[in-house]
Amino acid sequence: MVLLHIKRGDVSQFLFEANTQTTVEEIMLEIVTIFNGQLKVDRVCSEIEELSKHGTMLPPDMLGLTDEQVEELHLTDVWGEKCIPSGGWENNPDPVGRRNGRSPQSKMQEILLKAVNEAKLSVSNKLVMEGKTLQHRNIQVALDLLRGAVMIVYPMELPPHDPIRMEFSNIEDLTGTQASLEVIEPAKAQLWFAGKLMLPDRKLGDIVGSNEKTKVIIKLAKIEEGAPGREPVISEAARKQLMLQAYRHQEELRKLEQDDDDQYLNSSWSDSRSLKRQVHGLDDVKFKFTK
């Protein structure tokens, strides 16, 4: 299996294994699915962190309103009355006015945050440094973990308009958000290798060679973005080492320029009478003056 190091721009995303006989189109679909899955897990984790702090999402007609405005308009959070966390809740108002301020008790918060940490680690791009590959089933396991934690704390489920429930149901609406710019549609995705576009109808082995033990860097991009930047000739660590060596060499030259031209006269080898003293055995003679 060829090991593909997937990057988005200059950022490492994950490692993926593929057979040389697999078409680029099949590989691209898997890679885009995993990449979008990473983004989905991150979005759900962020919302669950807010859920643990400030409770469930307010209805769309109450978002961003002050208590006075809600009272004046006679609006009611019906779902907030139904979706009570296990063990009760504590009042912790949301400063941005998105959630109802009914946060779960500390033990229930721990369950949510523990699941968040485990889910993040399971799909983190740090797995690249550990040499671990990522597959679509890893994304699904992370989402199932998060779903289970939410069900423990909210056995009556979350409101249908809560983004967490919408993400779990795959009906999330990302229109107008930063997240919508990050997601890549499979039909608009491209893979690049060594500065060249990987054509969908070609097999992986036709591009990277037939060696199944090859490791290559593949860059994921959108069609409208054009060709991504090529990888540097040397790594960042090697570049820093070369810069350090160049700096040390420059410092040595600077010190040599500051030395006097006749400094060598203080050296023993420049003394014209040194040989004569050695022959007469007077080289190490020391004089002591007494009164």
> Cα(259)–Cα(109) distance, rounded to whole angstroms?
68
Of these ranges, 111-120, 173-182, 232-241, the one predicted with the greatest mean pLDDT is 111-120
Q: Taking Cα atoms as reference points, which of 144, 153, 157, 188 lies closest to residue 44?
A: 144
Q: Give the other-Cβ count within 10 Å of 215's Cβ.
A: 11
Residue 197 has phi, psi (to 5 degrees) of: -70, 135
Sheet holding 215-222, edge to edge: 11-18, 2-8, 215-222, 189-193, 196-197
Would the pTM of this model clear 0.85, i.e. be above it?
Answer: no
Q: Provide the pLDDT for residue 226.
A: 82
- Which pLDDT tens digit goes with each residue over 53-96? 999 999 988 887 887 888 888 888 888 888 899 989 999 998 88
% pLDDT > 70, the chain = 87
Give per-residue pLDDT as tens, 5-55: 999 988 999 999 999 999 999 999 999 999 999 999 999 999 999 999 999
Buried b (16+ CB within 10 A) or exposed e, 262-276: eeeeeeeeeeeeeee
**Do 283 and 277 form a contact (C-beta atoms < 8 A)?**
yes
DSSP class of 130: T
pLDDT band at 245 (very low <50, low <70, confident <90, very high): confident
Q: Indicate whether 275 pLDDT > 80.
A: no
